[in-house]
Structure 1
């Protein structure tokens, strides 16, 4: 008996992998995974892992890896059909009745799939023939060498009207079949079908198991009516239920462990750039991200990162994704949002700045609630009571659209807290402070260490001044450059206040300075650079400011140069700030991972893999900071 993909997917959705495996293997929860002793080998230390989110098990002792069905096949020596029948009974699902018509349709779909495979092989061969020379040169200019073409099965379709058709018909295909497969276009006037893809670089589109179900094509002619063209919906291909790059993304998520991120980008080349950088990247099929695709993403990762272009279309796509996702959000099931710096796309960043820069920018995504609040806040001016009331109404409505009641209440509280912080008066005296960051409170909610309050202003105690002077002598050049520009252009901090409070400028010597700048930025509608410098000098930071001026030029940071425009400097600063934030986060994660390994909270194989992944990225960022390669060259 043959089972269609929809039946198998529904079967896996109804049963939790850990529940089924837990009947024969004693499992204990460890982070987002379950761990136990291998059912395949004799061992004393657990190396068998089960991940419900990703739908697979992995046994480090034997190297076995698979899904729910594969586990029963391996442990109970069942055939595929027997394993499916057993799981269907457990899930309360009736097996599909044998249907001669369905069997005939399946046989037909298999025939179409065979022609798609044949077309893919032909496209690949055409790319390497003389007719594909311009396409090869284009791929090389985009930084995609020939050694990578086979990995993604890239190809080329010549400009001829029937080149592919003639090849496949000669091999026995009927034109009608090729129309059904999406390879040919049948004219409405009844004329002879012709090739759908002509003079285009070809990107095969696969289902979750890696089987080719359609193609996408990038036009070589800059005047082409459609720059990118996808195949039509067919019996094999449904745009709303497919994510480009999914099989490879699954492998990368598995290899990356718990620290891996899943990123949704906009184009084929962006997906390829992410995957070449070791990032699990996928893309929707030229349409807005739909509910079915969101469910697919959440099966792989609890919080995928959505990275859309910074243009109007990209912002609209992000907004639509938010609206569609809101009713579906649940605890442990959300999205983050990231944008690469300077209006570029991931492919540009990989070519110009390298894999480490791309990883750091995508990893520094904003939470869903923050993006939602910013969207509603920026929807219209907030210069009248009516418009401010309208913002509050929109925030309440957005929270109410979440189906999970507990999460809906949590979102309502969070959004209204942000609203209160937007309009609350500045903190004064000994009060709690009701600004967006809680006024005079530090990141741990207490007073700012060795500081005192006097008529609404914070001044360092003698101990605080001494600490600042003591640390100033070993100030890092890159953090100093960040601080120098922030003092010269305080408004660059407006989108980064939360991160600045969490990580400062990347050097402990600057932590107190960062906190004072945050306080002043929140309390002043207009923070004048000269006034800020006078205030910092008058409150005990004179020596630190001098050290900043001395250390910053050694960083090589382009944004502190006098010939850089304000917009470019802000873009460059934001990128460097994100990199140092990521470095600080990695240092914290490494400390935690090392502690977990030391006290046995994580198993040797899994814990070591996570530790080494974090350490590799941390070391790469350290080298980038030391060598000055973290700076954007043009800031565009």
Structure 2
């Protein structure tokens, strides 16, 4: 079966030979360098104990120094799976998510045609290079000198010049015997709409050859010399050679540099890449005027696990970074991500090198931040979260974004990272010592002499609140799976006690990790003794939800009840405080009613919903009487009365 031109190249680009071979061998960890894609193992093709089988993941081939077996991912699958060529292609294509194209009987003709077109492109490269050195290229050479490009750099990137004139390249190529159809198919000229000769696509532009991973020139990029030109940069149109969504400028040279340990940098334009290469940062590439595509991300990740996206330091650059993030999120895999380095305001990498030197750029690249940091910045920068509704909107937006990550493990780690940053965003608002003061202060009344001497009853309002906080935190430590249901109330829990405040923050950040991990985090934050002391407090240890770890329903009910009690105490205090201000020495019926309602709300909350589910009636004297007891008493009274009458 014949395959379309370019299919096998793309398959090899999308396939990691280290992953393919890794299914059949055990890597020698002492000899291998996974970061550079330089892997060694005992050969799977002959019996040996030493690691003489070498895999170069960057270049996509293997070689055994013992038996001299060599090849690429396709040949490895053929040999180890004992399958034919097309079956090996199907296996790898399925893993790479590429449908195998239908039989193409004209594939060889197309391959030959592409080779011929590539030869025409090389003729165009030579023509443009000669034009740069001719008299008509004087201004272009002066511009390149002002940009600081050396002769060595011009030669390395084969930079040329397309002079003014409508048929300069056309006349040159046809004069060399190139068929007109070949020039048109290369995208070097266009048909005239007025019936005249075809005209050159590139005119009065500095020319940058664009090469594929095999080193063939497949397209050009042209930088306009005329500042009034409608298009500052112009790429070749798409042809059978050139698909800009599957191409990265300078990938061949960058792959070699990255194989030597340099970080892979993705810039926005040709000049950024060329300036970085001249400054010694050789592993730099650029997309060709489009947003980064799936294929381009796969190509980047084949070269480096964490390419650095270096973007201009303006709003457009930041927006471009956000678009890259949205595109990359569903494609993330373990060990495959992106980092982002934003340039100073109004500068690109080329500008930064010329104004501050390559050391300044290297510093920016070294400080590149992970994707999750820039994602958080997009959702929070310039916004206030001073209300529950705004916080809820932030949570919803972040859940939707994280939900686009397909890998469940990465999605979980992103969720934890976001939770940590969310905690840091809101934690500074809490006063040192455990929380910011609320808008009210509970009155400090001593208990009456006749009050029972229990811890809760004997304490003032602030002490009661601390005791109830201890119950809440202990219940959540014992059954952390219900903590997510109380994120909002927990954040608003003031926790004047510093130990309680730290424990609350630990629960907010680590509850999802499970009881064991949560206890470890709590012990690390508080110390094992402090946590044990909290759980052994008499009014805590006796709570059923603390004794019965893992009882979600009981823990949920306990936390909800204690939160309600705290809120009720705050409510009555706030009403009293407001009433003192409102009444001005005169209490009217409305004020009395408000205080009565607040007191009743407090009483309802303070009656345990777990322990006391009795229904009550109110007696004539205002006392609460159990309805069941009253009915039983009435029945007994009726029985006694009826018995007396019978006598």
SS of the equivalent of 1:179 reads: helix
For residues 521-566 of structure 1, give each alpha carbon's deviation from its aligned partner in whole angstroms, at most 9, with x where no partner exists.
xxxxxxxxxxxxxxxxxxxxxxxxxxxxxxxxxxxxxxxxxxxxxx
CA distance in 2, matches of 1:128, 1:61: 51
For the residues of structure 2 that align with 1:319 and 1:89, how far apart are their CA atoms? 35
Change (3 A) 1:385 1:20: closer
1:158-195 C-alpha deviation (Å, 9 max, x unpaired): 01111111100111223333222111122344443111
Equivalent position SS for 2:265 = strand
Counterpart of 1:223 (choices 228, 234, 241) is 228
**What is the CA–CA distance in structure 1 between the aligned matches of 2:215 and 2:359, rounded to whole Å?**
28
Alignment of 1:607-622 (within 5 A): none
In the alignment, is the contact (CA less than 8 A) between 1:250 and 1:280 conserved in 2?
A: yes
| Equivalent residue for 1:344, pick from 320, 341, 347 | 347
Return the alpha-carbon distance in structure 2 between the equivalents of residues 402 and 92 of structure 1.
23
Structure 2 residue runs without a partner (length 5+): 434-497, 510-522, 527-647
Provide the alpha-carbon RMSD of the alignment.
3.9
TM-superposition CA deviations, 1:555-614 (whole Å, max 9, x none): xxxxxxxxxxxxxxxxxxxxxxxxxxxxxxxxxxxxxxxxxxxxxxxxxxxxxxxxxxxx
What is the CA distance between 1:8 and its match in structure 2? 4.2
Tell me what 1:372 maps to: 375
Corresponding residue for 2:272? 270
Kindly state the Cα deviation for residue 323 of structure 1 after the two structures are TM-superposed: 0.9
- Residue pairs, 1:78-93, within 5 angstroms: 87-88=88-89, 91=92
Q: Distance in 2 between matches of 1:333 and 1:21?
A: 17
Q: In the TM superposition, what is the alpha-carbon distance from 1:204 to its structure 2 partner? A: 0.5
Aligned position for 1:459? none
Residue equivalent to 2:162: 157
Alpha-carbon distance change, 224 to 264 in structure 1, aligned in 2, over 3 angstroms: same
2:252 matched residue in structure 1: 247
Q: 1:268 to 1:95 in 2, by over 3 A?
A: closer
How many residues end up aligned between the 2 structures?
434
Q: Partners in 2 of 1:216 and 1:232 — Cα distance?
A: 10
Q: Say whether residues 1:396 and 2:399 are aligned partners.
A: yes
Do structure 1's residue 286 and structure 2's residue 289 form an aligned pair? Answer: yes
Are residues 190 and 403 of structure 1, via their aligned partners in 2, closer, same or farther at CA, if it must alter by over 3 Å?
farther
Alignment match of 1:205 (pick from 207, 210, 220): 210
In the alignment, is residue 124 of structure 1 matched against residue 129 of structure 2?
yes
1:420 and 2:423 correspond: yes
Distance 2:367 2:396 in 1: 30
Shift in Å at residue 71 of structure 1? 7.9
Query: C-alpha displacement at 1:397, in angstroms?
Result: 0.8
Go from structure 1 to structure 2 and tell me whether the alpha carbon gap of 1:48 and 1:84 turns closer, same or farther (over 3 Å shift).
same
CA distance in 2, matches of 1:61, 1:151: 37
Summarize the alignment of residues 445-524 of structure 1 with structure 2, pairs less than 5 Å apart: none
- Post-superposition CA distance 1:257-282 (Å, at most 9, x none): xxx31111101011112223234111
Equivalent residues of 1:26, 1:36 under 8 A apart? yes
Tell me how far apart the structure 2 counterparts of residues 402 and 390 of structure 1 sit (CA, whole Å).
20
The 8 Å contact of residues 338 and 370 in structure 2, kept in 1 or not, is answered as yes
**Displacement of 1:113 after TM fit?**
1.6
| 1:139 to 1:69, Cα distance in 2 relative to 1, 3 A | farther
TM-score (norm 1): 0.60
Equivalent residue of 2:161, what SS?
A: strand
Aligned counterpart in structure 1 of residue 321 of structure 2, from 318, 322, 325: 318
Q: Secondary structure at the match of 1:270?
A: helix
Asked if structure 1 preserves the Cα contact closer than 8 Å seen for 2:211 and 2:218, the reply is yes
Which stretch has the larger CA shift, 178-187 or 43-52?
A: 43-52
In 1, the alpha carbon distance for the partners of 2:171 and 2:120 equals 13
Partner Cα distance (1:57, 1:387) in 2: 55
Q: TM-score, normalised by structure 2?
A: 0.59
Q: Once the 2 structures are TM-superposed, how far is the Cα of residue 208 of structure 1 from its aligned partner?
A: 1.5
Q: Any conservation in 2 of the 1:427–1:434 contact (CA below 8 Å)?
A: no
Separation of aligned partners in 1, 2:10 and 2:121 = 23
Matching residue of 1:104: 109
Asked if structure 2 preserves the Cα contact closer than 8 Å seen for 1:175 and 1:184, the reply is no
How far did 1:85 drift?
6.1
Contact 2:253 2:282 in 1 (8 A): no
Structure 1: stretches of 5+ with no match in the other structure? 77-81, 439-444, 449-636
Distance 1:130 1:92, change over 3 A: closer
Could you say which residue in structure 2 is the equivalent of 1:362? 365
Q: How far has the Cα of 1:285 moved from its partner? A: 0.6
Q: Does the CA contact (< 8 Å) of 2:2 and 2:104 recur in 1?
A: no
Shift of 1:421: 2.1
Q: Which residue number in structure 2 is paired with residue 574 of structure 1? A: none
Answering whether residue 154 of structure 2 is matched by residue 137 of structure 1, we say no
Deviation at 1:98, TM superposition (A): 7.2
- Could you say if the C-alpha distance between residues 151 and 70 of structure 1 is closer, same or farther in structure 2, counting changes exceeding 3 Å? farther
Measure how far apart 1:60 and its partner are.
10
Distance (Å, rounded) in 2 between the aligned partners of 1:434 and 1:142: 57
Residue aligning to 1:183: 188
Question: How far 1:110 sits from its partner (Å)?
Answer: 2.3
Residue 305 of structure 1: aligned partner: 308
1:221 is displaced (CA, Å) by 1.2
Evaluate the alpha carbon distance shift between residue 16 and residue 59 of structure 1 in structure 2; reply closer, same or farther with a 3 A threshold.
Answer: closer
Q: Does 1:7 align with 2:8?
A: yes
Q: CA deviation at 1:340?
A: 2.4
Give the distance between the partners of 1:125 and 1:303, measured in 2 at CA.
39
Could you say what secondary structure the match of 1:218 adopts? strand
Distance 1:144 1:222 in 2: 20
Matched, 1:296 2:299: yes
Separation in 1, partners of 2:416, 2:289: 35
How far apart, CA to CA, are the structure 1 residues paired with 2:330 and 2:274? Answer: 31
Rounded to whole Å, the distance in 1 between the matches of 2:398 and 2:214 is 41
Q: Based on CA coordinates, which of the two structures has the bigger radius of gyration?
A: 2
Residues 295 and 98 of structure 1: is their aligned pair in 2 closer, same or farther, counting only changes over 3 Å?
closer
Q: Which residue of 2 aligns with 1:28?
A: 28
Question: Counterpart in 2 of 1:196?
Answer: 201
CA 1:371 to 1:433, structure 2 compared with 1: closer, same or farther past 3 Å? farther
Q: Single out whichever of 94-103 and 246-255 deviates more from structure 2.
A: 94-103
Question: Take 1:231 and 1:187, find their aligned partners in 2: how far apart are those partners?
Answer: 17
